[in-house]
Amino acid sequence: MRISEEMVRHIQSIIKKTGYIPNRAAASLRTGKTHVIGLIVEDIANSFFASLAKSVEKAAAKVGYRVVYGSTENNDGRGNDLIQLLAKQVDGFLIAPSIGMKTSVQALKKSRKPLVLIDRYFPGEEIPFALVDNYAGVRKATECLIKKQKKQIAFVNIATEQVQMQERERAYVEALQQNGLFQKKLLLRLPYYQDKAQYEPRIHQFLRKHPEIDAMIFATNYLGMFGIKALKDLDIAIPKQVAVFSFDDTDLFRFSSPAISVISQPVQEIAGQAMRLLLEQMNSGAKKTESGEGVLVPPELILRNSV
Amino acid sequence: MRISEEMVRHIQSIIKKTGYIPNRAAASLRTGKTHVIGLIVEDIANSFFASLAKSVEKAAAKVGYRVVYGSTENNDGRGNDLIQLLAKQVDGFLIAPSIGMKTSVQALKKSRKPLVLIDRYFPGEEIPFALVDNYAGVRKATECLIKKQKKQIAFVNIATEQVQMQERERAYVEALQQNGLFQKKLLLRLPYYQDKAQYEPRIHQFLRKHPEIDAMIFATNYLGMFGIKALKDLDIAIPKQVAVFSFDDTDLFRFSSPAISVISQPVQEIAGQAMRLLLEQMNSGAKKTESGEGVLVPPELILRNSV
DNA sequence: CTGAAAGCGCTTACAG
DNA sequence: CTGAAAGCGCTTACAG
């Protein structure tokens, strides 16, 4: 590094004067690095994924990476297309995979493409992941309701094999079982609808069928949203008649009256951990890559006026 | 095109068997096209921009483009950095510019980089844009309130020179003036806060100072959000004591009780028009580019229970 | 240490 | 019409 400061300044002034900007495509062709990462989520318009996208963008920008995104809408085909499409264009992936993306994700891993799963993961597969501790979150919420003497606690979930939803449900089931309170009929599993408004009549119907319910936990933000709507439409008082928890924190829950208690995901922390794991892989080069380190970020139980 | 179908099938089976994927970086270097577009918004975590991002992604995917995004948070420096950073890496830009990005945007235009402004634009500059008709939206909302015999209609805005906010305000002012109802003291301009929670005390204070207010229009979704919170905290009945309109439709407004009437932006239409204008430029090649066609999409006034 | 040359993987103008 | 060759703009191994 025997270059004088003067020369450095001189060159930089020329760079500025001529407006030289290196051609990334050329550098990319030569080095094989694109300095772009691919973010594949379920739905970029969902407040959780939108916040995540913002945190990911910030974390990526800090280390010189750009982010391209894509929404799968839990459609396997679309997800696999996205992976295929982006595989050669990104240095690494952050993916919230649907079940049917397992094969493509495995192929990605086999091809040694840096990759971190977010929001969910494939149990048994040695693929790094960063997500909230779903079990701990719902467990805490359920126990909170039990402590409040609730006896008929319902759980509304999406019918899916996705591990994060399974874990949320398992926490609910186990907490109730250990207190002798579990009743299968109070566990509602609904299909994944593209059009979220369809959840409202389904939950409405469920509530009419089970007037004994005195507490509810909704497994996602949109279930919570439409669940609360259904409760209000039926003139069921929150929390007097039915106490409510929802997974995910959103403006709607914060501003609802009563304000809704939630299991909040520390989005920034999740994004930060995911980027850390991704950078580890991207920078490891020929070094052996840690195979399959997973990070479970503790959720935050936010108690508002709905319990 | 004298290639037999058989040969086509044969080649394609080899492509599939060997897993050949063209290297975009090489093609990009050769052709100068990246097939990536840059989406620069104010805040990807804001529900309006998140929805827009989703629609843009869909529209772009349909014509073989990927999207990289960046949030300016209305910070000129960040916005200019984003433009600089992405200029050589994208075939075109969709930008919601802050005021201080005018020079970089002009430079982009001068360099003949395909470019469409969204959500706002620079009056007098011949740069294509696609956005909602802000004036028409607020004008309709204001006239609706006047028809309901409201006499003390307040308007809460962000203090900015951004044209979309100016237009919203102008529509309010002119509608009231033409009915002899305008009062300067009922027009509140607040600074742009990164931390949106800061709006609540400011609006709270404004409401206490002006108990005569019988209707309010909030110029953005976050102002509406915190405005409603302030109204509720002060036990002001909506719409009985104060009727409410907010710009932008969000889950929160739909599910609020009472449900909030809004000036809704047809996000899909805006994204579609923006992509259309961008594609026109990207495909025009050496042909003369239409200079500065702008599209104003009509807003939808959604009447709920807050007026 | 320095500078010229090779080569990344495409596309396309051009020679045959 | 076909096939070989040039060249996009970088980075880096290598000859001098």
Residue-wise pLDDT for B97-152, tens only, equals 999 999 999 999 998 899 999 999 999 999 999 999 999 999 999 999 999 999 99
Q: Which nucleotide is nearest to A23 (CA to C1')?
A: D9
**Interface residue B7 vs chain A (CB under 8 A):** no
Residue with structure tokens 């450095």? Answer: A8
Task: Tell me how long chain B is.
Answer: 307
SS3 content of chain A, % helix, strand, coil (to 5): 45, 20, 35
B29 Cβ contacts chain D strand, under 7 Å: yes
Question: For residue B99, what are its two tokens?
Answer: 């005021």
A22 Cβ contacts chain D strand, under 7 Å: yes
Task: Tell me how long chain A is.
Answer: 307
B56 lies in the same domain as B74: yes
| Cβ separation B228–A85 shorter than 8 A | no
Give the model confidence (pLDDT) of B4-41 as tens digits.
777 778 878 888 888 788 888 999 999 989 999 999 99
Is-contact A113 A277, C-beta < 8 A? no
**A287 has pLDDT over 70:** no
**A7 has pLDDT over 90:** no
Give the model confidence (pLDDT) of B231-247 as tens digits.
999 999 999 999 999 99
Mean pLDDT across the stretch A116-145? 97
Tell me which residue range forms the domain holding A78: 22-132+267-296
B2 Cβ contacts chain D strand, under 7 Å: yes
| Cβ separation B257–A255 shorter than 8 A | no
- CA gap B169, B167 in Å, rounded: 5
A187 lies in the same domain as A254: yes
Give the model confidence (pLDDT) of A147-182 as tens digits.
999 999 999 999 999 999 999 999 999 999 999 999
Mean pLDDT across the stretch B161-166? 97
Give the model confidence (pLDDT) of B172-203 as tens digits.
999 999 999 999 999 999 999 999 999 999 99
For chain B, give the percent of residues with pLDDT over 70.
96
A30 Cβ contacts chain D strand, under 7 Å: yes
| Cβ separation A57–B45 shorter than 8 A | no
Within-domain flag for B2: no
**B286 has pLDDT over 90:** no
Within-domain flag for A302: no
Element (H, E) at B243: strand B243-247
Instruction: Identify the CA nearest to A236 among candidates A196, A206, A197.
Output: A206
Per-residue confidence (pLDDT) for residue A12, from 0 to 100:
80
pLDDT band for position A19 (cuts 50, 70, 90):
confident
A231 lies in the same domain as A140: yes
B254 lies in the same domain as B188: yes
Å from A278 (CA) to D8 (C1')? 31
Within-domain flag for A222: yes
Give the model confidence (pLDDT) of B54-111 as tens digits.
999 999 999 999 999 999 999 999 999 999 889 989 999 999 999 999 999 999 999 8
B151 lies in the same domain as B69: no
B128 lies in the same domain as B271: yes
Determine if the peptide bond prior to B258 is cis (ω within 30°): yes
**Interface residue B68 vs chain A (CB under 8 A):** yes
B193 lies in the same domain as B50: no
Residues β-bridged to residue B264 = B300
Cβ contacts of A67 on chain B, cutoff 8 Å: 68-69
Instruction: Identify the CA nearest to A64 among candidates A42, A35, A86, A41.
Output: A35
**B270 has pLDDT over 80:** yes
A36 lies in the same domain as A182: no
A155 lies in the same domain as A88: no
- The CA distances from residue B230 to A215, B227, B304, in Å, are 29, 5, 19
Within-domain flag for A3: no
Question: For residue B241, what are its two tokens?
Answer: 């004591």
Q: Which nucleotide is nearest to B32 (CA to C1')?
A: D8
Within-domain flag for A55: yes
What is A216-237 written as a DSSP string?
EEESSHHHHHHHHHHHHHTT--
**Interface residue B67 vs chain A (CB under 8 A):** yes
Instruction: Identify the CA nearest to B276 among candidates B42, B88, B56.
Output: B56
A188 lies in the same domain as A280: no
Our count of domains for chain B comes to 2
- Name the average pLDDT for chain A: 93
**Interface residue B50 vs chain A (CB under 8 A):** yes
- CA gap B196, B79 in Å, rounded: 20
Within-domain flag for A128: yes
> What is the domain-level CATH number for residue A148?
3.40.50.2300
How many other C-beta atoms can be found within 10 angstroms of the C-beta atom of residue B293? 15
- Name the average pLDDT for chain B: 93
Position B7: which residue type?
A: M
Per-residue confidence (pLDDT) for residue A286, from 0 to 100:
46
Give the model confidence (pLDDT) of A176-206 as tens digits.
999 999 999 999 999 999 999 999 999 999 9
What pTM was computed for the model?
0.93
A105 lies in the same domain as A174: no
Within-domain flag for A194: yes
B164 lies in the same domain as B179: yes
CA angle, B12 as apex, B7 and B13 as ends, to 5°? 100
Per-residue confidence (pLDDT) for residue A122, from 0 to 100:
96
Within-domain flag for B291: yes
